[in-house]
């Protein structure tokens, strides 16, 4: 497949837009000026906000998946099995972003019913929450494999990426999330931690797009 510089840039921008769309979806679930409780905020969210947040999951999954084409091109110098493995892992994770966010509609809907009927919100949402966590557990091993492949290949200069991009790859920000938690309070905590996974993807696709913006070696792009 021939991919010119224009489409390479569009792919990167698509990944960034996917992160923005799903971050908005996170805030539709979580953000409330008067509360910093994730469950209560979902329970108090309007029907429109819950439905709209669910829709962002599908839109973002499409945008994210198209965006990984840029990473695939960046890995053209790598061996085919490595390149295809990175593509498979990234595609699996990007699709999972949409599926897992969409599954949050069950948590939000259950929280809303609990608030409206004066039920224990944590007990009411427990099953939906555990089901969502089960989905996440399936993704973690894929993320671990991707991290090893990506960081090693980039650091050994087997891709079109510069080495500095490893610091913007989601692995390091994901690890740092736990260290940020004690320092964030109020609405800032809801915004950053509530949308954290999408914020780190926005950072990654922005770094990737900058790194690949002026790639001109058509022999690499067209292989």
CA 214 to chain centroid: 25
Is the model more confident about 34 or about 208?
208
Residue 217, in any domain of the structure? no
pLDDT band at 178 (very low <50, low <70, confident <90, very high): confident
Cβ neighbours for 193, distance < 8 A, ≥ 6 positions apart: 177, 180, 181, 184
pLDDT tens profile 96-122: 999 999 999 999 999 999 999 999 999
Q: How large a percentage of the chain has pLDDT more than 90? A: 85
pLDDT(216) > 70: no
**pLDDT score recorded for residue 2:** 67
Q: How confident is the model at residue 130 (pLDDT cuts 50, 70, 90)?
A: very high
| 22-32 average pLDDT score | 95
In a domain, 200, yes or no: yes
pLDDT (average), residues 57-62: 96
Which residue is associated with the tokens 């002026």? 214
**219: in domain:** no
What mean pLDDT do residues 177-199 have?
89
Does residue 29 form part of some domain?
A: yes
Number of structural domains in the chain: 1
Where in the sequence is the domain holding 175, given as residue range(s)? 5-212
Q: Does a structural domain hold residue 51?
A: yes
- How many Cα neighbours within 13 Å face the side chain of 137? 6
CA 93 to CA 122: how far, in whole Å? Answer: 28
pLDDT of residue 3: 76
Domain membership of residue 184 (yes or no) is yes
* Distant-in-sequence, close-in-space partners of 70: CB < 8 Å, separation ≥ 6: 8, 11, 12, 15, 205, 208, 209, 212
Please give the pLDDT value at position 223: 47
pLDDT at residue number 125: 96
CB 97 within 8 A of CB 61: yes
Average pLDDT, the chain: 92
Question: How far, CA to CA in Å, does 73 sit from each of 62, 168, 182, 185?
Answer: 18, 18, 39, 40
Supply the pLDDT for residue 181: 81
Torsion angle of C-alpha atoms 91, 108, 203, 201, degrees rounded to 10: -10
Domain assignment present for residue 221? The answer is no
SS3 23: helix
pLDDT of 145 higher than 70: yes
Instruction: Please report which confidence band the pLDDT of residue 147 belongs to, taking 50, 70 and 90 as the band edges.
Output: very high
Rounded to 10 deg, the angle between the 196-212 and 80-116 helix axes is: 150
Residue 218 lies in a domain: no
The DSSP secondary structure of 86-142, one letter per residue, reads HHHHHHHHHHHHHHHHHHHHHHHHHHHHHHHTT--HHHHHHHHHHHHHHHHHHHHHH
DSSP type of residue 34: T
pLDDT band at 177 (very low <50, low <70, confident <90, very high): confident
pTM of the model: 0.92
């Amino acid at each position: 497949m021939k991919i010119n510089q224009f489409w390479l840039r569009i792919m990167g921008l698509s990944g960034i837009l996917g992160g923005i769309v799903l971050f908005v979806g996170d805030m539709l679930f979580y953000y409330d000026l008067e509360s910093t409780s994730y469950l209560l905020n979902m329970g108090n969210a309007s029907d429109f906000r819950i439905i709209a947040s669910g829709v962002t999951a599908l839109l973002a999954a499409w945008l994210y998946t198209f965006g990984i084409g840029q990473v695939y091109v960046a890995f053209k110098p790598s061996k085919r099995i490595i390149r295809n493995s990175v593509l498979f892992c990234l595609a699996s994770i990007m699709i999972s972003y949409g599926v897992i966010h969409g599954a949050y509609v069950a948590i939000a809907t259950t929280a809303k019913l609990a608030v409206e009927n004066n039920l224990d919100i944590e007990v009411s949402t427990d099953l939906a929450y555990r089901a969502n966590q089960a989905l996440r557990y399936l993704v973690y091993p894929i993320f671990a494999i991707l991290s090893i492949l990506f960081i090693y290949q980039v650091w050994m200069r087997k891709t079109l990426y510069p080495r500095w991009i490893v610091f913007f790859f989601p692995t390091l920000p994901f690890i740092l999330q736990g260290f940020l938690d004690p320092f964030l309070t109020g609405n800032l905590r809801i915004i950053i931690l509530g949308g954290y996974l999408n914020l780190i993807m926005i950072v990654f696709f922005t770094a990737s797009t900058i790194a690949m913006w002026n790639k001109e070696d058509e022999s690499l792009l067209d292989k």
